Amino acid sequence: MSSNATPLGATVIVGEVVAPAIFLCLIYFAGRVITPAWPHLLAAGALGSSAGQLLIRHLAAPDNPAALLMLLGAFPIICYVLATGWMLRLALDDGEIDDDEATAIFITLGTLTFAAVLPIALLLYKVESIARAMMHIAPLVTLGGAPLLATGFLLWLRARRALVATRTAGAAIAILGSAIAIAGMFLAMA
């Protein structure tokens, strides 16, 4: 096969089934080291949002209707919200947050946020008008701010009093989540 030839359909399908399975294994084993309390959560959340990226890659086009844009954008955001909610539920179960758990929360939130932002960026890249697409996915932007807001409040309220930097970072994350949610509201009005 020459370098200019397109891959066969079956090869692409097999590759796109095998690659997420390998990614799932890699992120799970990495999660056992960097977030030992919930490696399964890290793997499920990152893989769910990454699967949204595959959907967007194949289904997004410059002339997609608003409903399809919402549907394609909703998949990674819903995975992000569910995985972050699952993490917050686990963190609430043990009471006060210590330094190790705070570190695991920061790592998980950062990883899941990055995994959710990439598919949305790809969706905006593939559409004809970014402004029109942003207006249609504005509710998803607002929803995407909720995990940051909730995680920030959890860290601010439940971190040990001695963890001043963690509590301050939690407050900053909550403020960022609020700003993103408000930005989503303004995008809807444009």
| 159: three-class secondary structure by DSSP | strand
| 135: three-class secondary structure by DSSP | helix
What is the spatial distance between Cα 143 and Cα 120, in angstroms, rounded to a whole number?
13
| pLDDT at residue 85 greater than cutoff 80 | yes
Query: How much is the pLDDT for 17?
Result: 84
Rounded mean pLDDT, 21-38: 93
Amino acid at 150: A
Domain boundaries, the chain: 9-189
Query: How much is the pLDDT for 95?
Result: 83
Q: How far is CA 87 from the centre of its chain?
A: 13
Neighbours of 60 (CB within 10 A): 20
**For residue 2, what pLDDT band results from cuts at 50, 70 and 90?**
very low
Residues paired with 97 in a beta bridge: 159
Neighbours of 168 (CB within 10 A): 13
Q: Per residue in 140-179, pLDDT tens?
A: 999 999 999 999 999 999 998 899 999 999 999 999 999 9
| 97: three-class secondary structure by DSSP | strand
Q: Per residue in 99-114, pLDDT tens?
A: 999 999 999 999 999 9
Neighbours of 24 (CB within 10 A): 16
